[in-house]
């Protein structure tokens, strides 16, 4: 396994176009990881009793809402 210093030297030795392409790929991979983490967090929330209790409470708050528009 390479040290961080070796990786940094390898990156800085790339020509600017290659360095830019690498940075774009890394940014895209980070975005995908972030999306996957969000999906996993949402899936976990569906099994979280505190979240579900809050969700039920909010749903109950809106049971008596008039669905018709009020005209002024």
Mean pLDDT for each 10-residue chunk of the chain (72 residues)? 76 85 82 80 86 89 74 66
User: Which pLDDT does position 13 carry in this prediction?
Assistant: 85
Task: Give pLDDT, residue 25.
Answer: 84
Is residue 10 situated within a structural domain? yes
What is the extent of the structural domain holding 57?
A: 4-61
pLDDT number for residue 27: 81
32 located within any domain: yes
Any domain includes 11: yes
**How many domains, in total, are found in the chain?**
1
Q: Is 67 a member of any domain?
A: no
Name the pTM for this structure: 0.42
pLDDT of residue 7: 78
56 is written with which tokens? 């039920």
Does residue 18 lie within any of the structural domains?
yes
Q: Is residue 72 part of a domain?
A: no
């Amino acid at each position: 396994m390479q040290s961080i210093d070796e990786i940094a030297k390898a990156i800085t030795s790339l020509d600017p176009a290659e360095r830019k392409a690498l940075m774009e790929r890394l940014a895209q991979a980070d975005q995908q990881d972030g999306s996957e983490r969000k999906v996993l967090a949402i899936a976990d929330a569906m099994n979280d009793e505190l979240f579900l209790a809050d969700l039920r409470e909010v749903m109950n708050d809106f049971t008596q809402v008039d669905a018709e528009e009020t005209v002024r």
